[in-house]
Structure 1
């Protein structure tokens, strides 16, 4: 019995790792159950025995990928009262997460429209939380909110750091200065 349970767990782990690999290389939109099965070395039926639908696969893939990362810590940002300092702390944390997960995040954000609804909403809700926490100590001004919304975007980070060669620190400094102009 123990050996069988270990084999089942190992098979499940291979399937999840295959999904993580494919989501991080071709993206969720191009990942198929057949592709996951091929990479994991199992049949499509075996994938479905472990995961009844794409939402279950995506949930397991996300949990596995996130378990190997240091996620942003918005509760730590909320402890910083000074608006400019909170923004710097939050962006530093967020940009490090983006850099560490850039391959996967590029594909996930690119494929947002095809993600399972619960996962897409979770990502959107998380971005809204980040936006709210970082904008909260600033005066209520649409320009500042717009700058902060732009600054927390993965695509902004990607453009500044990957496409244009800035370091995370330089990008944080630039986005903080832009927010300061709006005050």
Structure 2
């Protein structure tokens, strides 16, 4: 029988499809657990039980935390893409531009806090997760921060302006303001008052 026989090719294809389906189930289990209890409280046994596989199978697909966090992040972001900030960033007035970006950002935090809040919290104590967050979400925030910096700010003023932006874009800042009863529009306006003083 030829090595490339249709029967053997079919078996390889079926096995590859089954492996992909298993990986998908595991990834979805990781996403659900990270969303409900957080990465720090998620165990391999929990993942295996929810995905309906053995612990060895989980390790086979995700041999380390970094691989698991990346797969989880990619899967979740595909279902929860960040806002398109292009229109807000095109606003010529610096304070209106900041307000537009912050409204979009705060709305995103509100819609995704069940996952984002736990991930950002646990990234503070989990180096592998911190690395994924740093090269993903934090990279986006730094890009927004750079885009919101007005031209012509002097050194000291620029530092204060950037510090205000960084604090304002932090999910913990949004959470604190939100818990005090301010809606996203009011929260963005509050930050713009801070920026105006710089």
| TM beyond 0.5 | yes
CA RMSD of aligned residues (A): 2.0
Q: Distance in 2 between matches of 1:170 and 1:121?
A: 28
Aligned length: 181
Q: Distance in 1 between matches of 2:87 and 2:50?
A: 39
Question: Normalization by structure 1: what TM-score?
Answer: 0.88
Could you tell me which residue of structure 2 aligns to residue 112 of structure 1? Answer: 123
Structure 1: segments with no counterpart, 5+ residues: none
Tell me if 1:98 matches 2:109. yes
Structure 2: segments with no counterpart, 5+ residues: 1-10
| 113-122 or 149-158: bigger deviation | 113-122
How much does 1:75 deviate?
Answer: 4.6
How much does 1:145 deviate?
Answer: 2.1
Q: Distance in 2 between matches of 1:32 and 1:144?
A: 41
Q: Distance in 1 between matches of 2:120 and 2:193?
A: 26
Tell me if 1:72 matches 2:72. no
Point out the structure with max Rg over C-alpha: 2
1:1-183 → structure 2 map (5 Å cutoff): 1=11, 2-113=13-124, 114-116=126-128, 118-122=131-135, 123-137=137-151, 139-140=153-154, 141=157, 142-161=159-178, 163-182=179-198
Question: Normalization by structure 2: what TM-score?
Answer: 0.82
Q: Distance in 2 between matches of 1:11 and 1:65?
A: 17
- Structure 1 runs of 4+ off > 6 angstroms? none
